[in-house]
Structure 1
Amino acid sequence: MENDRKAIEKAENLSKHVAVDINSAWLNSMNAKLAASNPNPSTKDPTTIFRVPPIIRQADASNAYDPQIISIGPFHMSNKQLQSMEEHKWRYLNNLLSRSPYSKLKVCLMEIKAMEAQARSCYSESINVGSDEFVQMMVIDGCFIIELFLKQEEAIGVDPIHRTAWMLPIIARDMLLLENQLPLFILQRLFELTVESSQSSLIDLAFDFYRHLFQIYDGMQQSMGSIHHLLHLFHLHLLPSPPPDDLHPNGYSRLYSMPSAGPPPPRLIPSATDLQRAGVRFKRNSKVSSFLDVKFSKGVMEIPLLSIYEYTDHLFRNFMAFEQCHPIAGDHFTTYTILMNCLINTSADVDLLNQNKIIEHRLGSNDEVARLINEMTNGVAFDHENGYLPGLFKEVRGYSEEAWHAWRASMVRNYFSSPWAFISLIAGLFAFILTTTMSIFGIYSHFHPHQL
């Protein structure tokens, strides 16, 4: 209290020496901005849908963050190139509302109107559209997604979107972009208002819809309240199961932690072919719940199968962008992609992992796979000393630097890789022993001719 009183007196004494007047309106405006910039620290930051930062976007030449055919949410709603899908959105809204004999449009608008402030707060930028336009966009886009999921479950073949081979995969890809998201609580509320009787939940419908894009694992432990949007749903679903003490209280894995004592772990590891020459063996790990579950023990790196398709690049980039933007989203996809970037430098590395059934792809060549992996982490910040695989980087680097492992690997590769190589080794040893024995007898007989 005494310190506070002295600080106030000091401020008052300083103000006496100021000869200019302060405009009260200006002062009030600055005080208002100060108050707005200092929210209650106990209040959870609701921002979960972000614009991709320019440093990440500029490093991408594949336009992995921009929708190609459909806008979902406010960030791209004014893009004229995406307006052709608006007709389909209205048609899907009509189809969804027609599933019940009772009109629910007014109820949907009223419910989402009541959630407008909460929905706006989920976006990283202020949405400069009116209230009615914002609510209408939420209802139309949300109902489109729900009806799209339902039609997939019903296998309706007459729908223009589902019967057009090229359109549905692009829409599915666009709906998993970070900038193309709706808050999941909006989708869930619209689902409850429009789907009266369904044996499948909204999450089940989403999993069924995206089974063609990546592997869906059994079990989903996160509750609806902890999932922010569709991209986050699959981000959580694809994470490996961490130990209980590695969980953040809200369910995320820690991104940063206090560094441990001692020297920091090595930052990078050699490529797959270099590691093989250093004695490291690669093995496909099939008994896992996530392809991110990489292990290293006693010179063996166990890596689950990674399937690389046309949209793997876009999916991984948006997962990483979400991790880069959300303060507690973890770093699993970022770390995994950095690891694969270390392992893969050339097509020879891809071929090695392919021979061990760790990578499969539908791209044109192994060179394209190597180029895709190498470019995927451009502009991405990464903490090498932490993350979910800090021990693996250190152990692999330490193992590969021991000369004994490299010598043993060279012996196995050169002399034990095939029966003929082993036979040639035995023949060489026999010849060496025979030659040595004959030399010894020759020298001995020279110095002791009468004893032989």
Structure 2
Amino acid sequence: MDHNGSEAAGGSMIEGMEGGSHQQDLANCQALQSISEKIQNVKQLSPEACLFKVQEELRKTNRDAYTPLIISIGPYHHGKPELSKMERLKGLYLKSFLKRARGKGFGLADCWKKLKNLKDRPKRYYGDDHGIKVSGDEFVKMLLLDGCFIVEFLIRLGYENEEVEKYDTIFRISGTANSVVRDMLLLENQLPFFVLRELYDMITIPCKLEFSEMVKRTLGFVLPKMNVISIHSTNVNIEEIKHLLEAVHILCQPRLSTNGCIQQERDSTCFCCWFSKQPQANAAQGVDIESHSCIFCKFGNCTCLLCKFGKQQPSTTDDLDAESYHIPTATELREAGVDFKKVGKIGSINSNETTCLFDINFNHNVLEIPSFGLYDDSESFFKNLIAYELYSPDVHPKHFVSFALFMDDLINTDKDVILLRKKGIFISGLGDDAMVSDLFNNLCRGVTYSHDDFYYGDVYKKLIQHCNMPWNVLKAKLRRDYFHSPWAGISTIAAIWLLSLTTAQTVVAFIDLFN
């Protein structure tokens, strides 16, 4: 090989390598510059951000549950063609709102100025910038139309003496008002609560209530059976309420939050008591309780061997695995001797009602569950409040997540649904029992939660302890197979008595034979 040719070839190879290295450095520089620009353009999430688009993991079980049907509120669904029919009605509602505002000397310009002076604060409530397609004056216009619509709608829904105009198809077409309420309680269909309060303060109406009380008075008639309390009776600062869905969540909380704690169970397992249990009506509570009539147990002198065999130790929770947050289904619990009783009345909104949806207790082998109704909008209602709790790290405990998990464990098939429905725990307007089962089995798909936020920890532990006692299962089997009715019990006792007499007669005969 020619030496000079080799040197030329080697030089060209070096130059090619140097050229490739230079191109690679240039590409790296461009990539770094692009990343640097992207970092500089990223907006810091506001501490006030509380309204987000629902993640795909939750949405995929039922997309319609998070999507408005007839009306858009806020920027996420603003301008959608399928929701445009209600825009004309928003204008008519604004006109009625301004008539009320004139009583305080306010006009359209004053409303616009008040919202304009809020500057960017309302927009900071929305955490997904890519989902907001309006800005500037168009954003203020959206706040004005949507905010005035909500205030005017709540007034018309809450005051019976409100005259409905001929144009108002919401109240003239059956079921439309419920659809509007359903859309108003979607996480993606919210306005900042302070915007609604600012607009509400600009109008005058007879017997005007504070805005949070107006929400209670209005939505208390359309929410599922719950103990709708006054926000003023809670520890919540009204100024800190972020949106209407959060206000509803607060209204649905138990009157006295006990984190699922229940009284210590005093369950006698006396065999003679077991036969003499008689249900007694408790008029004050509206539920049934069981009393033990054995005189020996009352004085602590019961000597029944079967009692001592089946005696349960005092209930403790330290020996249970903290991760065991699953219970048997309703059918399996019944086979383990657990009875089910409803608490309260379906559809009750009496302010004196002492129970709410979350007041679930387990005492004396009886699982008490507040009654409630299931309708077409129930899935959307539960899913959006569950999503709200998941997006709210400051909400503890998570009542709706806990309730959904509880019902998911309790209901596995339509047999469980039939059992609870026959006990009067809920009524179903969904069609068949399989639809109820599917509803509760899908509520928590994609939901991750901390056990520290679970509301029914103590109830679960007591149920698990009960099911782990063989004596409870034996009692349930005896009662179900041999004592399911008074005549069956008498027949069983008579058979045992005859068997005892026959055995005694046989023993005596053997003794006489040997003597």
Once the two structures are TM-superposed, the CA of residue 427 in structure 1 deviates from its matched residue by 1.6
CA contact (8 A) 2:178 2:222 kept: no
1:302 paired with 2:302, answer no
Give the gaps of 5 or more residues in structure 2.
Answer: 1-24, 261-317, 345-352
Structure 2 counterpart of 1:45: 47
Give RMSD over aligned pairs: 2.8
CA contact (8 A) 2:216 2:230 kept: no
- Cα deviation 1:51-87 (Å, max 9, x = unaligned): 11111001226x1000000000000002110001000
- Cα deviation 1:410-434 (Å, max 9, x = unaligned): 2222233211111111121122112
| CA distance in 1 between partners of 2:148 and 2:466 (Å) | 54
Structure 2 counterpart of 1:54: 56
Equivalent residue letter for 1:132:
D
Structure 2 counterpart of 1:91: 92
Once the two structures are TM-superposed, the CA of residue 385 in structure 1 deviates from its matched residue by 5.8
344-353 vs 137-146, which deviates more? 344-353
Change (3 A) 1:436 1:28: closer
| CA distance in 2 between partners of 1:325 and 1:180 (Å) | 15
Structure 2 counterpart of 1:276: 334
SS in 2 for 1:99: helix
Equivalent residue letter for 2:419:
L
Equivalent residue letter for 1:326:
S
Which of 159, 163, 168 is residue 177 of structure 2 equivalent to?
168
Structure 1 counterpart of 2:153: 148
| CA distance in 2 between partners of 1:27 and 1:217 (Å) | 51
After TM superposition, the score normalised by the length of structure 1 is 0.83
Once the two structures are TM-superposed, the CA of residue 329 in structure 1 deviates from its matched residue by 2.5
1:112 paired with 2:115, answer yes
1:313 paired with 2:379, answer yes
Which of 195, 211, 224 is residue 214 of structure 1 equivalent to?
224
| CA distance in 1 between partners of 2:320 and 2:229 (Å) | 40
SS in 2 for 1:193: coil
Change (3 A) 1:124 1:28: closer
Once the two structures are TM-superposed, the CA of residue 350 in structure 1 deviates from its matched residue by 1.8
Rg larger in structure: 2
Change (3 A) 1:108 1:277: same
Once the two structures are TM-superposed, the CA of residue 319 in structure 1 deviates from its matched residue by 0.4
| CA distance in 2 between partners of 1:280 and 1:202 (Å) | 44
Give the gaps of 5 or more residues in structure 1.
Answer: 1-18, 247-259
Once the two structures are TM-superposed, the CA of residue 318 in structure 1 deviates from its matched residue by 0.4
Equivalent residue letter for 2:385:
F
| CA distance in 2 between partners of 1:59 and 1:160 (Å) | 32
SS in 1 for 2:201: helix
298-307 vs 311-320, which deviates more? 298-307
CA contact (8 A) 1:71 1:77 kept: yes
- Cα deviation 1:382-427 (Å, max 9, x = unaligned): 3346422222222211211211111111222223321111111112
| CA distance in 1 between partners of 2:490 and 2:437 (Å) | 37
Which of 226, 243, 248 is residue 229 of structure 1 equivalent to?
243
Identity %: 30
1:419 paired with 2:486, answer yes
Once the two structures are TM-superposed, the CA of residue 243 in structure 1 deviates from its matched residue by 4.8
Change (3 A) 1:242 1:388: farther
Structure 2 counterpart of 1:73: 74
After TM superposition, the score normalised by the length of structure 2 is 0.73
| CA distance in 1 between partners of 2:383 and 2:34 (Å) | 44
- Cα deviation 1:106-146 (Å, max 9, x = unaligned): 11111111213111111111234221000000010000111
Structure 1 counterpart of 2:140: 135
